[in-house]
Amino acid sequence: MTVFLVLLALPLGAALALAAGSYAAFGLAVYRGHNSLFGRACPGQGAACLAQGILSAVVAQLVMILTCPLGPLLAPRRRGSPPVPGQPTVVCLHGLYHTPAAFLAIRPALARAGYAQVAILAYRSLGTDFEAEAQRLLAVLRATLAPDAPLCFLGHSLGGLLARRLAAEPDLARRTRAIVTLGTPHQGSALAILAVGRLGRSLRPGSRLLARLAALPDPPGARCTALYSPVDGLVVPDTGLDPGRPGWQHVVTPPVAHVAMLYHPATIALVVAAVGRSLGPNPDRQGEGAS
């Protein structure tokens, strides 16, 4: 029993520590007037929104810690039906220090919406750099995607930056219908100075990586959507959540934490809706209606 309690206390303690540290930085940014989104999205409800953010951060970090080892089992590379030419494929990319288990709740929601072709990719967060992982992911995509399948890139946090990088490749750009990012630090986060590994530290505001990404074109004709929370405690200041690019749609989610966005039902519904607006009527759903 003692061993069980210790094993339970370790991830809970880690979740509490991360939530406390990140929201201390968030609160300081609000106090200094650097988090304007918080005031706009939670007028007169700041305390309630912040409490929801902190509570959801603890719960989500605990879920993340406990489920991360399941990533290879849940989605080694692709889940769902074999590739079908012409059928839309949703390419999912997790965030820093996470695994494909990040999409534990989102993948079934996509399946219920009729999107059977979901490619959930994994990359390393340590001992590597952004471009090395981008090149490896490109090789995986080119080897596994159905020929000419319309693509929607869906990325959480750092995964959103990788989505933008992959979708800029000419052979993928021509069939990319959408990029959907979730809590992505498009313009960096001041907390990146505390990151472990050079990949995480490359997310500092004004970094060379962010400058290179800013110079990349978005896929022509693609619908690009950035979803972000007004109480994201890991992207500080919240101006980092703004893609700063013309033509992007901005969607403010309910006030939940950075990682909690992956598990929050209302936020997941917004993600699925963004995918649906981008890819249009799904062949699987059309078939269901005709049967």
Asked if residue 291 has pLDDT above 60, the reply is no
Q: What is the per-residue pLDDT for 85?
A: 67
Q: Is the pLDDT of residue 254 over 60?
A: yes
Confidence band (pLDDT; 50, 70, 90) for 19? Answer: confident
pLDDT for 33 equals 87
pLDDT at 1: 53
Of 281 and 194, the one with more pLDDT: 194
Q: Which amino acid is at 80?
A: G
Residue 194 belongs to what domain range?
70-290
Q: Which of 26-30, 59-63, 272-276 has the highest mean pLDDT?
A: 272-276
pLDDT at residue 258 greater than cutoff 80:
yes
Output the CA angle 183-188-194, nearest 5 degrees. 100
- Note whether 91 and 122 are within 8 A (CB): no
Q: Would you say residue 224 lies in a domain?
A: yes
Which residues, listed in sequence order, are joined to residue 86 by a DSSP beta bridge? none
Residue 4 pLDDT exceeds 50: no
Grade residue 2 by pLDDT with cuts at 50, 70 and 90: low
**Residue 228 pLDDT more than 80?**
yes
Mean pLDDT for the stretch of residues 214-243: 97
Q: Is residue 146 part of a domain?
A: yes
State how many domains the chain has: 1
Residue 25 lies in a domain: no
pLDDT digits (tens, 9 = 90+) for 31-55: 888 888 998 999 999 999 999 999 9
Task: Tell me the CATH number at 136.
Answer: 3.40.50.1820
* Pairing label, strands 89-93, 151-156: parallel
Residue 37 lies in a domain: no
The Cβ of residue 97 has, within 10 Å, a number of other Cβ atoms equal to 16
Which of these ranges, 8-22, 141-155, 159-173, has the smallest mean pLDDT? 8-22
CA 198 to CA 277: how far, in whole Å?
36
Q: How confident is residue 281, by pLDDT bands cut at 50, 70 and 90?
A: low
Q: What is the mean pLDDT of the chain?
A: 89
Is 31 among the domain residues? no
The pLDDT tens digits of the residues spanning 55-111 come to: 999 999 999 988 988 777 665 444 445 666 678 999 999 999 999 999 999 999 999
52 within a domain of the structure (yes/no)? no
Nearest Cα residue to 56 out of 263, 290, 269: 263
Q: Closest Cα to residue 83, out of 179, 149, 136, 142?
A: 149
